[in-house]
Structure 1
Amino acid sequence: MIPSIFLFVLLFGGANAALIKYAGAKISPIDLVFFRSVIAAVAIAPFIGKIELTKFKNDPKSLTLAGLLFAANWILFAYGIQKTSVIMGQLIYVPTSLIVAGLGYFILKEKLSQKEIIGLILSLVGITYLILGSFKTKDILSFGTPFGNFLVVVALFSWAFYLVLTRKISNNYKPLTIIFVDFIISGLISAIFFILNFRNLSLTTFNINLIMAILAIAFLSSIAFFFLNQWIVKHSSAFVSSMLLYPVTLSAIIYGIIFFKEKLDVSLLIGGFIMLIGVFLSTLDTIRKK
């Protein structure tokens, strides 16, 4: 089963950034977030238990905060990826697990190993190297623009804070409930801007390609990928789940080159390699245990 999941991720996981870049260029990125959120929320609504929703009504603060961070990640990434390359957007997300570990150290007082600290430093060096490269080239087909990369980096930290927070509340709520509330909050926030921008939305824009892209983002990137990740964590380990990063990155690079004519230059490879070394080093002890 797990090899099949990795094959699915290789084929579709890295398509998320490419699909968002494509759809966000056809309609406003905030409109895309609205459609994505509503479709995903409606799709999983029948599976949400009343008891879980009652728990949320009695104590909405933590789950609402998590939903706000989740929405920030979706919105910022949707705008940022329009100003950078698919390759760069995915590379920036490579050290997610390390940043989560670093935030966990400061917020949850979790322990960090020496290798994790070194790996985190290397990953931050890699991100800095890539962002500085975007100031020099401003080439949207490789390094992207500084503004686009800045938005993606902020989206990354929103996602990292979200993961740390949901780690605290995951004992109180089922994963499905958490993600459902995330979809609802993302939909409500984006709905405000969707209504304000409604006059600028043309139905003629919605051709079959755009509709298929939105549906793929909602069902494959938003629902299927989340459930597959949770399944792997439950039936194997968080380590195996973290390994999904590599096929996602590889497929994102392939999609960026094929569909957006993006290019890999030496400097981009160097920055990505530094981050991958940092991530690999931080998981070295876990690999040895396996």
Structure 2
Amino acid sequence: MATNNRAAHITESLLVCTACGTQFPTADRTALKTCFICDDPRQYVPRSGQSFTTLAALQTSHKNEFHTYRSSPDTDGKEDPNPRPLISITTTPKFAIGQRAILVPTPAGNVLWDCLTLLDDETIAQITELGGLQGIVISHPHYYSTHVAWAAAFSCPVYLAAQDKAWLAQSSDRQVFLDAVETSIPGLGGADTGVKAIRLGGHFPGSLVLLAGTGLLIADTLMTTPSGVANWETNALNEPRSRPPAANSFSFMWSIPNMIPLNPDEIVRMWDVLKHYDFTSTHGAFVGQDIEHQDVKARVLQSMQIQIRSMGHDVHPFLHTLW
């Protein structure tokens, strides 16, 4: 990995968990036998057992791909005129959890939402060509990956929730810990990027979402469901139809892989934060988890109510909350 920062070179030999992609501050395989993030009930160790690799090894077997996301045409058939579309970055073949990072261009510089384990010359060159990074914001500990190396390579801060500090495997003076519910992310020269990190909690106490214009980048703080991205516009005869009233768009989980839902009180607390923000699209943890609709915020509320009712809380007062 060609970079002027020697610290980034050192990370190439450090061990990386193959299940969650977290990098640890040691290259000694006898000193690291388990991953404390995967031992947590929110994650898991694969049936094949605990194993580790290195960033150097990944650089020879994997690559990152860039996917430009453009908004769907509106009702007049016009595409979003925004000259700075979101860019998803994914690793192929899939590694660890397989999440995407999203490059968010702003007039004050680029902000990276979430992070990938793989960092190599090509990735650094392509992001540099796009304008580099003014900051990295990570939604929750499962995506901490090699963020210390990324921050060093791009000489930028990485923003993490203070409430999740215990889940850090590495420390860096580039880490900035957010304690507020809302934080504006600064850009070049301290200019306002217009991007806000919002702490919703839920999956982890500090789980974040990122508001960029009218788009809400949600990772799996809100988990996009298959019915959320389904095509309900026409039936098999290509006739117009309506979305089923009981179909959800999001689920709210304490553990996604182990399918442990959040309790109603935590879901309501999340809504009490999110209800103050307006958005017309959501962008989930994986490519293809994008929902564009004027009523997407109402879908969040409806999905919360569907989950609470389905958990047996038929008389919960939140069920009467109106959009």
| TM-score normalized by the length of structure 2 | 0.23
By percentage of residues, which structure has more strand? 2
| TM-score normalized by the length of structure 1 | 0.25
Q: Which structure has the larger Rg over C-alpha atoms?
A: 2
By percentage of residues, which structure has more helix? 1
- Higher RCO (CA < 8 A, seq sep 6+): 1
